[in-house]
Chains A and B, each alone.
Chain A
């Protein structure tokens, strides 16, 4: 079962990893940004989204801006500070850390994202269960390994209902959080054609591989715009380079 979401917004910035400081966007949406849109509508440990294709509906337009950003990363407050003792503040004074950085963003974007999810059976999911008996809801919960109604259709129905209603956990965004977007579940056969462009976009970020949580690394694939459509390979296919 796969779906088509149409997303559109005024601005987008799918940042290139090599130009992270002075942001330059990719020409089109990255599969990881597309996955994030679907995950913002529905995500559960039972499903994992796969993007199959991205269609570019609007011509690619650029905008160059300069924005003020902060040059420091927020740090976790130490124990001393949390307990209330007098300590130099771990906050950031923006005036001292201000940096002006330029950005090359996309304007007036509209994409159609096709995706489906993989259902992960309960046995393979990461367990996140209480350890003390007092925390169980009742006797049955402790022994029950999985709910009886676990199946892909359940999540498919959840997603479709939420997407049709416009429900989301957090507002989907196009690359950067500040570029919020609108979304709509559409029937892909409805007549709206992607832009008639075909070109080779070079190596593009596919996604991050979090299988080793201590050391995530980036995956790349060769993005080709074919009649306005980018076919996104499967994660484990040989087109995706680690």
Chain B
């Protein structure tokens, strides 16, 4: 028998074996922590699902009350709130989560989606640890109810052992070479802005540099995370109330080091985001400039970010509570929405 035929037979045998094996594997093998949390919260029929990154729960050393935003919102609104968060999560990760919700049998009353402006920056977008190809793959795998789900299952383990996910994400070397922009002007590469020695300090010079790196890019409508945000919004707009808000940033520090420039550029970027979700039936709130410097706790990290002190987290939870009230989303008078209760049809 020709060699190629023998190899093909071997390939078919191995594939069939893997097909049978993967179909009998513990479903937990195809999940990860946050996906399990989401599925648990759907199962528990949480009224509000709150996607988030580290801003959701990071506290400051000086806080008397270290509770996160989701916990404060739950306390203030009386609704059950389920948080699904991870330090590097953004709209590209929230979108497959939205698919999981879409293909489940339960819709929460609201899904809260923070839009972190730093997630569109070079600091975040190409960072290998934040690309999360494997997690996205697993989220899609668990969201699909089609025959492709079995193919994804069969392919998962080979992709894992042969580092297939790394093929589709940046290497550290590639990431370090990515361009950093100040508006439209390229001002260096990631390596120039990630000098560890420099970034241990909080000098004026390094702060100016960090602010460019995190916030002063020029956002384009075709940015993948923006596209993911619009896809997520369109996916869920008819089934639940999507509340998307731009995360507060320390604009005071920004204006201190880039007077007249900082707010202007950030506002332009927010306008691009606003335009991208225009016409979609979601609530969009811009909270970028809503808090002054004393609400932020990034000094402990030595680089400007969106981590909030206690007063900042309380403000945000109060704001979201009022938004829920404005949208008539309450938990005592309005029962949870369920496909089964309403006899809703499958809108996949």
Whether A and B are associated in the same complex: the answer reads no
